[in-house]
Structure 1
């Protein structure tokens, strides 16, 4: 599988960002807050895909989609929060007012 050719999509019906892999899906669940911010709740990568960069790709592309849609985030998921914290200079502007890392 060529991970570079697969793109993350926003599945608005399921409120999750998805990376469709060959036989499984990596995802980030979210809820939409009252002020429109996306609460990024949970990231899930299939066990067989662990350690291959799937999670980082999923988060990076999810944040890119959110940025293009001019939305804000509140990262509740520890994986997403850690990623944003590590790359804060790139993603500071995406944080909703009051969001904590």
Structure 2
């Protein structure tokens, strides 16, 4: 599988960022709050794809989609929080007011 050729999609109907892999899907579930902030709730990567960079690609591309749509985030998912903490200078501007890492 060529991970670089895959692209994260925003399934607005299911409120889920999705990365379609060969036989499975990695995803981040989200909800849009009343303020318009995106609550990133849960990330899931199939067991057989763990440790291969799938989760990092999914989070990075999801944050790019959110930034392009000029939205702010409230990360609730521990994986997303950790990713942002490790790349704070790149993503701190996306945090909604009062969001905690």
Which runs of 5 or more structure 2 residues have no equivalent in the other structure?
none
Which runs of 5 or more structure 1 residues have no equivalent in the other structure?
none
Deviation >2 Å, runs of 4+: none
Cα distance, 1:18 vs structure 2: 0.2
Q: Distance in 2 between matches of 1:72 and 1:42?
A: 17
Aligned to 2:15: 15
Aligned to 1:32: 32
* TM-score normalised according to structure 2 size: 0.99
Q: Distance in 1 between matches of 2:75 and 2:31?
A: 11
Cα distance, 1:48 vs structure 2: 0.4
* TM-score normalised according to structure 1 size: 0.99
Aligned to 2:95: 95
Q: Distance in 2 between matches of 1:73 and 1:20?
A: 23
Alignment of 1:53-68 (within 5 A): 53-68=53-68
CA RMSD of aligned residues (A): 0.4
Is residue 85 of structure 2 the alignment partner of residue 85 of structure 1?
yes
Aligned length: 101
